[in-house]
Structures are given as structure tokens and as C-alpha cells.
């Protein structure tokens, strides 16, 4: 299926509205909440303050929330699950279970889909985002993730590969580059919960600015979001953002950029002019609706970028 066909299909699906997935009934206990997304740059603290995982439990509904750890991105799903089982229990979560998909066939299992729809919080482990999407792409399980977020207010988090896959345009392949090049990266289709951004992780630790700029040269209509290790971008849909952890989030807006990506040779460093870069350290909070003292309204240029960032992708049916 071509990218044009995918875009046409997405537009048609967006017109359908917020309807339940045919044949799937949400759990009777589902609560109307504003959905949150938590994109983590990887290597989140699991031994000291554990701020990111604490916030995930809180936004999922607290100690009694039904939480799933989705390990489909990992080459060692049992090991990935064990890495979270103890720490989430120590933080007070009483109902935490693993869930895994190794193939699209497993992502069609009605019992697994029911588990996704009954969850209050879903945390996607690290690994390889291509492995995750190979199992989930265009399956009932992926659509159930959308219904859980859009219709039931489920909190969905992802770390490292799990963070990269939250966006529609997913950074799939790309080696660290000191300077942006036209062919430095390859994009693929992600989960689509974040509509207008490309997410990169382990950002400053692995010097990935050049790689993210290379992605924006391909898609200047999108925002670039680089998230440091032990750092989380928390998105309250339609309302605001919060940065947690020990690092920062680098937000790059290239919508007014002038670049020579089409004319440059594949290995020629790109010229990229009129980029806007915002650095949001941990502790930053911005509200787009009803700002308060702890979360003021952002300045105009940042507000324009955040308005795009907090806008969720359409419900996938």
C-alpha cells in the first residue's frame, strides 16, 4: 500500500468519528478520563525516586488501576516484563500484568484485545520499534489501543522504542549523524497516537540531533521531539505538557524552514534555515487551556508548536 493510499484511508477513518471497534465492547468499569501519553527517552530511573513510573501509575488511576506492560518491542519479552514487575509493585500498583504480541496472528486474539480494552494504563517497553509494528500494524490489537486511549482515557506510555512508536511517522532506521543528510534516516508507520511529531529517544546521550534534523528535512510539516534518557514528555491530550525526570526534551519546529533536501546529493550535508528550537528541561509544565501559576501559558512560538503536539491522532478503526 502506498503512502498516498495510507493517507487517504486515514482521512476516511478520521471522518468516521469516535466509534467503538466493531464487535468489541469496552469494559463496563471504563471511566471517562482525559487520555495521557507518556513518551520516555529510555533508561528511566527504576531504583531511586522513580518519578516517571510513579507518574504513569498516578495517571493510570492509582494503585488499584489495571496496568499492562506491553513487551512486543523486546527481543526478550520475559526479561522486559521482569524489569518492570518488581518496581511497579514496589510503587504500589496492585494489578499489573504482561502482554505480548509476537505476530499479527496473536494481535487478532479476542482475549488479548479484551485485556487491552480493560486496561487503565499500558506501558510499552523498549527494544525495536520495527519489531513492535511488525506484530501490531493494522491489527485489532492496534485498534484496541486507539479505542482504549480515545474512548476510555487510558494512559499509554512508551520508553525508547515504545516512545518512538507512539507517533504516526516513526523514525525506523537512522545512525547517529554529526550533520543532517538526506538519506541518513528511514521513516515508517507507527501507532499514530501522536499525529504531528517524529520522536527520537536517548537523544543527547547518543548525539541524535543530526539524525532528527535529517528526519525533519524529509517531513518539514512535522515537529521533531528529542527526549533524553530518564526523561519523559507527558502529553495531556488537547491541554498541555509536562517534562519529568533528569534530562530535557528538545522540540524542533521546522514548518517555516527553508532547506535544500531535494536538491542535495544523498551524502551532502543539508542546509536548513529558519528552524525554531525549544529546550524544555525536566520540571517544565505548560498549559494551553486554563493556565495557572505552576503551568503558565507558553510564549507564542512555543504555543504554536505545543498546539500541534497535544493534538492526538485520529481514532484508527
Grid cell listed for 200:
527520537
Which phi-psi region, left, alpha or beta, contains residue 133 (left: φ > 0; alpha: ψ -120 to 50)? alpha
109, 192, 205, 101: which is closest to 146 by C-alpha? 192
| Catalytic position from the list 125, 160, 167, 214 | 160
Does residue 118 carry a catalytic annotation? no
Name the DSSP class of 108.
G
Does residue 202 carry a catalytic annotation? yes
Contact indicator for 80, 71 with CB cutoff of 8 Å: yes
| Catalytic position from the list 202, 214, 236, 242 | 202
Does residue 293 carry a catalytic annotation? no
Place of cell 510499552: 124
Beta bridge partners of 285: 242
Place of cell 502529553: 235
Which phi-psi region, left, alpha or beta, contains residue 73 (left: φ > 0; alpha: ψ -120 to 50)? alpha
Q: Which helix (H) or strand (E) holds 38?
A: strand 36-40
Contact indicator for 165, 190 with CB cutoff of 8 Å: yes
Q: At what angle do helices 140-152 and 129-136 cross, to 10 degrees?
A: 100
- Catalytic center residues: 160, 202, 229
Amino acid at each position: 500500500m502506498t503512502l498516498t493510499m495510507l493517507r487517504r484511508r486515514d482521512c476516511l477513518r478520521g471522518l468516521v468519528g469516535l466509534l467503538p471497534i466493531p464487535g468489541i465492547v469496552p469494559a463496563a468499569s471504563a471511566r471517562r478520563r482525559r487520555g495521557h501519553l507518556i513518551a520516555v527517552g529510555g533508561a528511566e530511573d527504576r531504583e531511586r525516586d522513580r518519578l516517571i513510573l510513579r507518574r504513569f501509575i498516578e495517571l493510570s488511576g492509582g494503585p488499584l488501576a489495571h496496568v499492562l506492560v506491553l513487551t512486543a518491542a523486546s527481543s526478550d519479552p520475559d526479561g522486559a516484563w521482569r524489569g518492570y514487575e518488581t518496581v511497579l509493585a514496589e510503587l504500589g500498583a496492585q494489578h499489573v500484568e504482561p502482554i505480548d504480541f509476537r505476530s499479527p496472528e496473536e494481535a487478532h486474539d479476542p482475549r488479548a484485545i479484551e485485556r487491552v480494552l480493560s486496561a487503565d494504563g499500558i506501558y510499552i517497553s523498549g527494544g525495536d520499534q520495527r519489531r513492535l509494528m511488525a506484530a501490531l500494524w493494522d491489527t485489532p490489537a492496534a485498534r484496541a489501543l486507539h479505542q482504549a486511549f480515545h474512548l476510555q482515557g487510558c494512559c499509554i506510555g512508551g520508553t525508547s522504542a515504545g516512545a518512538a512508536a507512539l507517533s504516526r511517522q516513526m523514525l525506523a532506521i537512522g545512525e547517529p549523524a554529526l550533520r543532517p543528510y538526506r538519506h541518513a534516516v528511514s521513516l515508517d508507520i507507527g501507532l499514530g497516537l501522536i499525529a504531528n511529531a517524529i520522536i527520537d529517544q536517548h537523544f543527547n546521550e547518543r548525539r541524535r540531533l543530526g539524525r532528527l534534523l535529517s528526519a525533519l528535512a524529509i517531513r518539514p510539516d512535522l515537529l521533531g521531539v528529542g527526549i533524553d534518557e530518564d526523561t519523559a514528555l507527558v502529553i495531556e491530550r488537547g491541554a498541555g505538557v509536562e517534562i519529568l525526570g533528569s534530562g530535557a526534551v528538545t522540540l524542533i519546529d521546522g514548518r517555516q524552514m527553508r532547506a535544500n533536501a531535494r536538491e542535495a546529493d544523498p551524502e551532502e550535508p543539508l542546509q536548513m534555515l529558519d528552524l525554531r528550537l525549544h529546550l524544555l528541561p525536566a520540571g517544565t509544565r505548560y498549559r494551553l487551556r486554563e493556565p495557572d501559576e505552576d503551568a503558565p501559558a507558553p510564549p507564542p512560538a512555543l504555543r504554536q508548536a505545543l498546539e500541534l503536539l497535544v493534538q492526538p491522532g485520529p481514532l484508527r478503526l
